[in-house]
Structure 1
């Protein structure tokens, strides 16, 4: 008798994982995929809005995995030290841990779990994404089909979903205070969601007072970053960078509209946590 199997696809509220969900529904309707979202409680409101629209398209409820301990709990466990690129405890405790707790009992029962991950055909596959459990099999449909960023945009447009609204001002989903944000994204967070910016500033101030060596944005505090003259400097630098990039870009005659430029592409930074912003 064959062992049971389960097919799961994690959604971050971002572009690529949403497109993969659409792709699986359209190209593999015979596979009963369970979609899940691990909620840190610190996500943008635009993320929840987009997930709601995605649920409508999929015709299925997106299973919410809530961590049993929130960000504030883990911040205390890590002695009020902010998460950073060097110590990404937020991803580990608020995203990966709830997923592992969810699938562990099923794996222990001998179930094979296929996890579909939105690594595109134009991206490098990093071994860190691989599973260490032989019964947890990572599948990369976009990689296998050679679907790149333009293909992802086409999938979302074709489904009538388009991009999440936050893509107008920010590249990634995930926590409002994600430390992988560029400085222009912090400025835009301050403008778009001032209450979230003030919360991030409060966390940072408390962490620094407790001896944390990290600030959210490298090299300066949010207090410093939010000063009017610094904001203007960041905006001017971003516009100059954008103008240089656009002067080097060749228009794509096959697309009626220009592809939105990822801020990470503009700044030459492809870093980030897969579970958070894919």
Structure 2
């Protein structure tokens, strides 16, 4: 028997796909790769989603967590160039869970972003399909699916538009400020991890990461500065973000606020996130 599986990241697209497939595939298995470093809002949203689906979402945990692999990689932070967190805390637990059984994996790439690439396993027993691309479901369609299901969006969408770990290096500057405001204890944990890397590398926490030859990506979560330095620039960051919000509102009238926020954050920093974590 071929297993049918649908991964949920805690973001709007994968959640909408789970609801969309609910009545189409009766034996669908829903799963969530839990790094142990997710936002509280994500866990709360998964609980709501289970009620809507009428099905349990299987939590897949790595046998060893972030702290273990952080030491294995000699205190090197994960980064866009070295995404060991994605490989070891997301992809490996999934492929271990699936084993060698024949599987169809449903991935939530939308029709309006079909040029993006979701995770496609290299294992020959896993076939990846993209229902939203095949059936023309775009961003507006995703929002409609969630609205019709009465589940709406995760609470973190008020200040952040991507799911994933609280310390995700793909966060924009304004989202780091949002983390500090909404979850100061998690922000402090992210700072502590970063400070350990700096200390072990013999780099001063006040270092000028704009200096020639200083590669901040080796030592810091946010490009070009430490989180402490970032928070010191809070007023400038949020002033710039408010300008981006104003431009987004003027350019896209009569659209949901989440779209305005997303446009503004992309204007702040438009680096493409990892689709394994952020769909």
TM-score normalised per structure 1: 0.89
Q: Does 1:276 align with 2:277?
A: yes
Residue 59 (structure 2) aligns with? 64
**Kept after mapping to 1: 8 A contact 2:174/2:265:** no
TM-fit CA distance, 1:87: 0.6
Measure how far apart 1:10 and its partner are. 0.8
In 2, are the aligned partners of 1:241 and 1:266 still within 8 Å (CA)? yes
Following superposition, the deviation at residue 258 of structure 1 comes to 5.2
Structure-2 change in CA distance of 1:71 and 1:273 (3 Å): same
Q: Name 1:221's counterpart in structure 2.
A: 226
- What is residue 239 of structure 1 aligned with on the other side? 242
The answer to whether residue 167 in structure 2 is matched with residue 167 in structure 1 is no
Structure 1 counterpart of 2:91: 96
Gaps of 5+ in 2: 202-216
Structure 1 contact 150–259 (Cα < 8 Å) conserved: no
Q: Aligned residues, how many? A: 262
SS in 2 for 1:38: strand
Q: Of 123, 145, 150, which residue of structure 2 is paired with 1:155?
A: 145
Q: What's 1:10 paired with?
A: 7
Please tell me whether residue 138 in structure 1 is matched to residue 135 in structure 2: no
Alignment pair present for 1:194 and 2:193: no
2:243 paired with 1:248: no
TM-score w.r.t. the length of structure 2 is 0.89
- Structure 2 CA distance, aligned partners of 1:245 and 1:151? 21
SS in 1 for 2:111: coil
Correspondence for 2:50? 55
Unaligned runs of 5+ in 1: none
User: What's the counterpart of residue 24 of structure 1?
Assistant: 21
Across the aligned residues of Structure 1 and Structure 2, the Cα RMSD in angstroms comes to 1.7
Question: What's the CA shift string for 1:162-217, capped at 9, x where partnerless?
Answer: 00000001111110000000000000100000000000000000011222823101
**SS of the counterpart of 1:64?**
strand
Provide the residue aligned with 1:112 in structure 2: 102
Seen in structure 2, the aligned counterparts of structure 1 residues 233 and 258 have a Cα distance that, compared at 3 Å, is closer
Looking at structure 2, the residues matched to 81 and 131 of structure 1 have their Cα atoms a distance apart, in angstroms, of 26
Q: How far 1:264 sits from its partner (Å)?
A: 4.8
Deviation of 1:225 (Å): 1.1
- 1:195-247 deviation per Cα after TM superposition (whole angstroms, max 9, x unaligned): 000000000000112228231010010111112xx100000000111112222
Measure the CA separation in 2 of the matches of 1:204 and 1:126. 31
1: CA distance between counterparts of 2:163 and 2:254?
27
